[in-house]
Every structure is written in C-alpha cells, then in structure tokens.
Structure 1
Amino acid sequence: MAYNEWVEKHAKKHKSIVQKLVKQGYDKEKIIDYFDFENMKEKEFDFCPLYAKNKKCHELESLNCYLCSCPNFRFNDEGIQKVEEKTQYSFCDIDSKDGRQGVYGEKIHQDCSGCGVPHHRAYVEKHFDFDWAKIMKVCKV
C-alpha cells in the first residue's frame, strides 16, 4: 500500500474514533488517555493490525497510539531522490538517532522501528489536534 493511501485510510479511522469520543464529552486529555495502547487494543481492535497479536509497534512501557504515524516522517510515493541507482521514498525530518534508512532492493524507506518519539504522551500533547490529518499534512513532500 502506498503512503498516501495509508494516510487517507488511517485518517478516516482516526477521525471516526475522535468524533465518537467528542460526542461522549471527551476533552483533549481524555482523548489522549483513550489512545493508550492497552485501551485501544481492547476497544478499537480494528485500528491497528498489531492489536490482534497483542503486539506493540515499539517496545515502550507506555505506548500512546494517537500519533500512529510520526509528524517528522516525510514521504513521496513518486520518490524523493535517487541515491546510487536506488530511489528514496521517505526520511525522518529530524534525523532521529533511533531511526535509519532501510534499503529494500531498489527502494530506500525510513525505518522508524527503533524510534518511539511520537508515542510518548508528552509528544502527543505538544502536537495534538482533534484532526490527525492536519498534524500529518506536513509529511507529504
């Protein structure tokens, strides 16, 4: 699945959950609490395919799923640049020391598996918007 397609599909799922919570009177703090991994895997099992396996995307004791994708992730489905006959499709805008560029055949993609930046509550609070798509619009280059 292309990055654009994933972002669009995920934005719809995210918006549906947030709208439901707002209708129930949830404020920013309660919404962030709701997106805790332990809660989400029980109440929103369709949000992430890892929930069915009781598996976290990042091994953090307290994992928040509000920013399922990171606002520092940059991508272009057409490619960003050529690097030694390979095409780079994504990168980390802050060049996190915990991320890396993965080479997969002729494609280069950002591998964020070692980085938990967007899953810490303080980071979510700092970048919070009721509309996840607004937060993520900076990602497409």
Structure 2
Amino acid sequence: MDWFESHAQKHKKIVEKLQSKEYTKEQIIDYFDFENMKKHEVDFCPLYKENKKCHDMKSLNCYMCACPNFRFSDDGISKYNEQVILSECDINNGKKFSGGGFIHQDCSSCTVPHHRAYILKNFSYDWREMMSECKIK
C-alpha cells in the first residue's frame, strides 16, 4: 500500500507538470515511454538507474506502471494451502510465486498495461482513478 500511494503521487506530479506545459493526452502518454522516462524522470522507477525494463518488450510505456487488472490487499485476499494470497490478476494473466507463507501475482511475463493502445483505451489523467479497482478492501 505504501508503494501504491507513493507511486500515485509521483505520477500525479509528472502529469501536472506536463499539463502545465499544455501537453495533449497523446503527448503525455508518449512522455511516459521508458526511454524518455529513464532520462528525464530517474526517480519515478528504481529500474531506470539500472537501465533495466520491468518487462521484456521493445516499446515499454510506463504510464500505467502497475496494472488496472492487478488486485491486492495487504491483509490478504484469501488463503490457499495455509498460504495467504496477497495479490492476483483479474484477467488471470501470468503466474504466481510464493514464499514466507504468502502467494503473490507474478506479472513479469504480462505486458498488457504497457502498450500505448491499452493506455489510450483506459486513459485517465488520474492514476488512482485508473487503478481504482486494484485495492481490495
């Protein structure tokens, strides 16, 4: 949850900066291209400093870092064989990993939210709005 809130603030700050420069929605999305972000927004993602992508894809867009299909609860969603399930995928994409009594969604092989067309289809200037279904209460 801490990461979620921190990331929302970083995203908001960048979007507001670009809006103040009168960037269009399309220009804002383009700005969030991995290659541009690692140069101009180094603190947005710890992987930028390592020039490392979170997903192996040619054109990675970071506007929807995290995914609107991701579901999580710090208290756990359910249990499976005595392990607490902390997260899952709403479209059943990817695999899971477990350890320390917890099961967590492994999104590393899924590129769904990082394609420009998907971002345009689900676009909001407000990252929290796009991710509003992620947190399970």
The aligned residue for residue 34 of structure 1 is 31
CA offset digits 1:7-33 (Å, max 9, x no partner): 100000000000000000101000000
Residues 110-121 of structure 1 aligned to structure 2 (within 5 Å): 110-121=105-116
2:128 counterpart residue number? 133
Give the total of aligned pairs.
136
Runs ≥4 in structure 1, deviation > 2 angstroms?
none
In structure 2, the residue matched to 1:106 is 101
What displacement does 1:137 show?
A: 1.3
SS of equivalent to 2:74: coil
Q: Determine the C-alpha separation between the residues in 1 that align with 2:120 and 2:86.
A: 28
The code of the aligned residue for 2:123 comes to: F
1:21-80 residue CA offsets vs partner (Å, 9 max, x unmatched): 000010100000000000000000000000000000001000000000000000000011
TM-fit CA distance, 1:82: 1.1
How much does 1:105 deviate? Answer: 2.4
Select the residue among 55, 65, 69 that pairs with 1:68: 65
1:90 aligns with 2:87: yes
SS in 2 for 1:49: coil
Match of 1:56 in 2: 53
- For the pair 1:46 / 2:43, whether they are aligned, the reply is yes
**Identity, % of aligned positions:** 60
CA separation in 1, counterparts of 2:99 and 2:58?
Answer: 30
Q: Which amino acid aligns with 1:129?
A: S
The aligned amino acid for 1:90 is: S
**Which ranges in structure 1 are unaligned for 5 or more consecutive residues?**
none
Asked if residue 22 in structure 1 is aligned to residue 32 in structure 2, the reply is no
Q: 2:99, 2:116 → 1: CA distance? A: 32
Instruction: List alignment gaps of at least 5 residues for structure 2.
Output: none
Tell me the TM-score normalised to structure 2 length: 0.98
Specify the alignment match of 2:74 in structure 1: 77
Paired with 1:92 and 1:76, the residues of 2 have a C-alpha distance of 12
Q: Give the alignment's TM-score, normalised by structure 1.
A: 0.95
